[in-house]
Chain A
Amino acid sequence: MGLLSKKDSKLILDPLADNNPITIQVLGICSALAITAQLKPSIVMAISVVFVLGVGNVVISLMRNIIPSKIRIIVQLIVVATLVIIVDQVLKAFAYELSKELSVFIGLIITNCIIMGRFEAFALGNGPWKSFLDGVGNAAGYGVILIIVGFFRELLGSGTLFGFKVLGDSVEKTGLYAIGYENNGFMVLPPMALIVVGIIIWVQRSRNKELIEEH
């Protein structure tokens, strides 16, 4: 990669796979369970978190030398909250239906452990460019899992993708439904997200044995 040095590209690529915040660090699970019943909210959530974490990391990094250490957690919270409110307002203005659907979960980005974790662990000790890459990388790692889970849950749970009936019509029994296929109603419930995430973790670790912790 010409644009990024090897070290920099590691910052952005590592969290996508070998140091994924969801499957390896097991952070941010709460929202991963809640909003992944369909593909579209998963994608919007992923984009929102990329924005919040990317920009937030840069802001924190720029301020890292002037933030009084006594109140640093509160300062971090204010930065996340501000960015989240901006995202919320923009969604309300340009994607009203979607913002109703995501409702409280956009607000809950504030409490997403990945964000505070990256602020505290990375942005407070590194320059803005590195922090930006780290933020985007981690948020993308989170987003990728969200989208994978959302894809399977919507496909198997409702037989649709982005609301399109890709498997045929379940009421009029066309397509796959004509030969007796049924939607798995369990897929649209939150516990199945946990199981799908579990399967992803299993697949990932069986492909890369180094990820398995020894006890």
Chain B
Amino acid sequence: MAINTDKNSYTIIFAIAMVVIVGSLLAGFASGLKPLIKANERYEKQQNILYAMGVNGNEGANDVVFIGTDKVEDEFAKYITKQIVIEGDKQTEDDQAYLIDIKKEANKAKDETYTRKLPLFIGEKDGKTIYVMPVRGKGLWDAIWGFVAVDESMTVQGVYFDHKGETPGLGAEIKQRFFMDDFVGESFLNDGSFGSIKVAKGNNDPKNEDTTDQEVDALAGATITGDGVSAMLKKDIRMYVSYFKSLNK
């Protein structure tokens, strides 16, 4: 049985058949594994939120250790007392608020008639109420995102940053302890009005001893990623300011 594999018609039919078979195979795989992948992404979000508010497994000075995936759901339920969704002036409680995709929300908000849904996670740690906000922006190569934990006066209690493809050794360092820990103590409010925290070059304060300057020391060689972090904080945290102002009245 010899097939003439050189004929054009055969080549085209072969290509089409191949695409159909491979396509359906991959589609089947993707939809079969989707629930598991989704669960992993959910755990990761919970881990990140808890990390920002200081619930983590850090031991050494440079550790970035999350709560284990087996425990994270219980811990999340324990520390996060309330999740709310802010839509304009309206606030609704929603225990699934952490699943809101803020990338999609940001896209929808380009249409000016749309009121953006802003998730806010309220937790309690050591008797202190902590508010965690998600942020998302652009780095040098791709998306950067994170969670910022503040108290009711918008003073930072902890942050967590992550990125998709920043340069290893330079921009990718935004997820290192020495960078993230720098934010602690800085405030988003300056005399009662909003002023974002900037990633500043030549800040001369790598240990962040001056917590009133609203600046943290930039990473050498990662100017654009650093600017991306500044822009992301300014853009996303600003949206929460009115909520915090109403809290402090």
Task: List A residues at the B interface (Cβ < 8 Å).
Answer: 65-71, 74-75, 78, 82, 85-86, 89-90, 92-94, 96, 104, 171
Contact = CB atoms under 8 A, between A and B. Distances in A.
B247 interface: no
Given A90-B33, A92-B37, A92-B40, A82 B26 contact: yes
Nearest to B11: A68
B33 A70 contact: no
B172 to A, nearest CB: 11
Nearest to A189: B169
Q: How large is the interface on B (under 10, 10 to 19, 20 to 34, 35 or more residues)?
A: 20 to 34
B22 to A, nearest CB: 5
A70 B40 contact: no
A69 B165 CA distance: 38
Interface in B163-179: 165
B22 A78 contact: yes
Contact of B11 (A65, A70, A82): A70
B60 A96 contact: no
B26 A86 contact: yes
A89 B44 contact: no
A69 B36 CA distance: 40
Interface stretch (B2-10, B146-154, B208-216, B226-234): B2-10
Contacts of A68: 5-6, 10-11, 14
Please classify the interface of chain B as helix (H, G, I), strand (E, B), loop, or mixed, using the class held by over half of its residues: helix
A104 B41 CA distance: 18
B109 to A, nearest CB: 28
A96 B40 contact: yes
Contacts of B26: 82, 85-86
Given A82-B25, A93-B33, 19 more contacts: A66-B3, A66-B14, A68-B6, A69-B5, A71-B11, A71-B14, A71-B15, A75-B14, A75-B18, A78-B19, A78-B22, A82-B22, A85-B26, A85-B29, A86-B26, A89-B30, A90-B33, A96-B41, A96-B43
A62 to B, nearest CB: 13
Given A70-B6, A82-B25, A86-B26, A171 B37 contact: no
Nearest to B169: A189
Interface in B35-83: 36-37, 40-41, 43-44, 60-61, 69
Nearest to B7: A68
Contacts of A65: 3, 5
B168 to A, nearest CB: 10
23 contacts: A66-B3, A66-B5, A66-B14, A67-B5, A68-B5, A68-B10, A68-B11, A70-B6, A70-B11, A71-B11, A71-B14, A74-B15, A75-B18, A85-B26, A86-B26, A86-B29, A89-B37, A92-B37, A92-B40, A93-B33, A96-B37, A96-B69, A104-B165
Contacts of B6: 68-70
Interface string B124-149: 00000000000000000000000000
Contact of A93 (B15, B37, B44, B60): B37
Nearest to A96: B40
Contacts of B3: 65-66
Q: List 8 tightest A-B contacts by C-beta distance, closest first.
A: A93-B36, A96-B40, A68-B11, A93-B33, A68-B5, A92-B37, A89-B33, A82-B22
Nearest to B30: A89
Nearest to A82: B22
Contacts of A74: 15
Contacts of B165: 104
A74 B14 CA distance: 12
A94 B5 contact: no
Contacts of A171: 60-61
